[in-house]
Structure 1
Amino acid sequence: MNKGLMLDYKKCEMVIKKSSKTFYKAFSMLKDESRRNAVYAIYAYCRYADDIIDEANNFEGLIELYKELANFVTHNVANNYIFRALSDVRKKLYPSNFDFKPYFDMIEGQKMDFDFKEYKTLDELINYCTKVASSVGEMLVYVLTDSKEYKLLKEISFELGVAMQLTNILRDVGEDYDNKRVYLPTEILNQFNVDLDTIKNKQITEEFKNLFDYIANIAYQYYDKAKEKLYLFPKDSRIPLLIALKFYRGIIKACKDSEYDVLTKRNFVSKKDKIILLEEVKKEYE
């Protein structure tokens, strides 16, 4: 690997290290350097797409990213560190017929955030989750395994992506409301008699807790389905995936341990609980 490409990957690594301690902790454990670097590059792409809207609210920037991606697909690589790194990932790890649709789906999901409309049903919310999270799974699974079980790989991408995005949504209810976004579907708010004033006034009512548990249980079901398919990955990839799964699932527990206060603060998995979860992973793969 030339020095320029090494620097590109290092920049990608800095992005994931700064933005997601959970994912960095998990995937920095990959022993295969090519796969490890690929995860860093894919994360950097997703983080960049997300920040264009969440941090800069820059729709023109998102359109420019779309154009750069369209050019990339035809091997016209933009002169920036993310696409240079992704070009190397394509050469080394993606199947020759890899469909870059998940990369475009990520951009589509960010468009949905820019032109935000409240979701009426759970199905609408799940569709959003597939755009911004399951898409990431599809980008990743092909670089983490040589398995040709593409149907099952697509399923685990969907399941783990939805589970993690529902977790994000539960964790960030208050923060999202302050940013004028309510991801909780109207039908579920009505089902549990939770109105927007409850969220606005930061009230942790029994009704809100019941709503939280309802969506948390849906997330748990997706986590469980995804975990059943981890056998598709070699041990070197399976362990980081299981760590990421357990750490993210642990966020829901952290929210509950905080008396369901997801309206005034962001909850994290404690260092103590992370140690416990890492021990669980170790026991499963001894």
Structure 2
Amino acid sequence: MTPLAAAYARCRELNARHGRTFFLATRLLPPAQRPAVHALYGFARWADEIVDSGTSHDPARELAALERQLGDELAGRPTGHPVLAALADTARRHRIDPVLFTDFLASMRMDLDVTEYASFTELDRYIHGSAAVIGLQLLPVFGTVAPQRHAEPAAAAMGRAFQLTNFLRDVGEDLDRGRVYLPQDVLRAYDVDRGLLAWSRRTGKPDQRVRRAMAHLAAVTFAVYREAEEGIRLLQPVARPCVRTALTLYRDILHGIASVDYHVLDKRVVVPNARRLAVALPGLVAARAARATSGRLVWHRPDATGRI
């Protein structure tokens, strides 16, 4: 195995271990596209571990070092780190705009100091770097049947929908880390504050004020999913089953949150394996059919800036 192949294998291992839903969806991609997706996931996971694992003595310094190493790799100066080697190769092959990685790391740094967000406007600045850019990074890997810029809003919306779902599912765990990602103006509108969230987390007791605030935020998130879903038709057909499966399974988490009446402060909602299989199997059939006809499709390749 070459060093680069080993680097991609390491990223695949990270994806399989830590991103079960996303990894399942990547199995529906043509084999040639999967390594790039694993590399993008591996980099995001590495940065997230620096911020949230609790094992770093100086996460700000480690993030700064990571950004410097990434710059070296993208400039053709190997650092010896397998995740960065795979990421840089992916970025070059698919002409991914390096600004998307810079924006991602900027949001990771926000997690070191920002513990709450006053409004959706402020939260969206964080979500752009932490999640929307992931959708934009993946877009040139998946390919489009229209100019890429037409698909960018929906790709960003998909990352945003997944992140908002995470915020609702993980509100209790985030609270344990000292963070509240739910917008403060929405919480105040329902008479919810950090103290009430902490009480519900500690006691396991539901509260109608929390339920109403969570229901409001879930409704916003469902609307973002609808925006994201509109963009699937703009992707190359071979990528659509993967993306549709990932969207469906992640949206199922949101449905699961609603099904327990938003009482998630002391428990974690997961998609049952039977449901995951029920979604993945039709996706596999669609993926095979798309691959059979892919040779007749027009592939819109981005230029060096990531655009058509």
TM value normalised by structure 2: 0.85
Please give the alpha-carbon distance, in whole angstroms, between the structure 1 residues aligned to 2:156 and 2:206: 31
The answer to whether the Cα contact below 8 Å between 1:192 and 1:210 also exists between their aligned partners in 2 is yes
Aligned pair in 2 of structure 1 residues 27, 283: CA closer, same or farther (>3 Å)? closer
Q: Offset at 1:237?
A: 0.8
Q: Which of residues 162, 165, 169 in structure 1 aligns to 2:163?
A: 165
Which aligned pairs between 1:2-81 and structure 2 lie closer than 5 A? 3-33=2-32, 35-55=33-53, 56-57=55-56, 58-81=59-82
Please give the alpha-carbon distance, in whole angstroms, between the structure 2 residues aligned to 1:101 and 1:190: 35
Q: Offset at 1:279?
A: 5.9
Please give the alpha-carbon distance, in whole angstroms, between the structure 2 residues aligned to 1:277 and 1:145: 23
Which aligned pairs between 1:179-190 and structure 2 lie closer than 5 A? 179-190=177-188
Q: Offset at 1:38?
A: 0.1
Number of aligned residues = 281
1:104 match: 102
Please give the alpha-carbon distance, in whole angstroms, between the structure 1 residues aligned to 2:60 and 2:153: 31
Please give the alpha-carbon distance, in whole angstroms, between the structure 2 residues aligned to 1:284 and 1:110: 36
Please give the alpha-carbon distance, in whole angstroms, between the structure 2 residues aligned to 1:277 and 1:28: 13
Please give the alpha-carbon distance, in whole angstroms, between the structure 1 residues aligned to 2:249 and 2:9: 24
Please give the alpha-carbon distance, in whole angstroms, between the structure 1 residues aligned to 2:188 and 2:60: 32
Please give the alpha-carbon distance, in whole angstroms, between the structure 1 residues aligned to 2:194 and 2:134: 30
Gaps of 5+ in 2: 290-308
Once the two structures are overlaid, the 10-residue window that deviates more, 255-264 or 210-219, is 255-264
- What's the secondary structure of 1:159's corresponding residue? helix
2:224 match: 222
Aligned pair in 2 of structure 1 residues 146, 190: CA closer, same or farther (>3 Å)? closer
- Percent of aligned pairs sharing the same letter: 27
Q: Offset at 1:200?
A: 0.8
Please give the alpha-carbon distance, in whole angstroms, between the structure 2 residues aligned to 1:183 and 1:225: 22
Which aligned pairs between 1:206-221 and structure 2 lie closer than 5 A? 206-221=208-223
Please give the alpha-carbon distance, in whole angstroms, between the structure 2 residues aligned to 1:75 and 1:148: 31
* AA aligned opposite 1:130: H
Please give the alpha-carbon distance, in whole angstroms, between the structure 1 residues aligned to 2:218 and 2:282: 21
Considering Cα pairs closer than 8 Å and 6+ residues apart, tell me whether 1 or 2 has the greater RCO: 2
RMSD, aligned α-carbons: 2.0
Q: Structure 1, residues 111-151: CA drift from partner, whole Å, max 9, x if none? A: 11011241111111122111100111111111111556232
1:151 match: 149
Aligned pair in 2 of structure 1 residues 37, 280: CA closer, same or farther (>3 Å)? closer
The answer to whether the Cα contact below 8 Å between 1:22 and 1:244 also exists between their aligned partners in 2 is yes
TM value normalised by structure 1: 0.91
Q: Which of residues 257, 260, 283 in structure 2 aligns to 1:258?
A: 260
Please give the alpha-carbon distance, in whole angstroms, between the structure 2 residues aligned to 1:184 and 1:171: 11
Q: Offset at 1:43?
A: 0.3
The answer to whether the Cα contact below 8 Å between 1:199 and 1:263 also exists between their aligned partners in 2 is yes
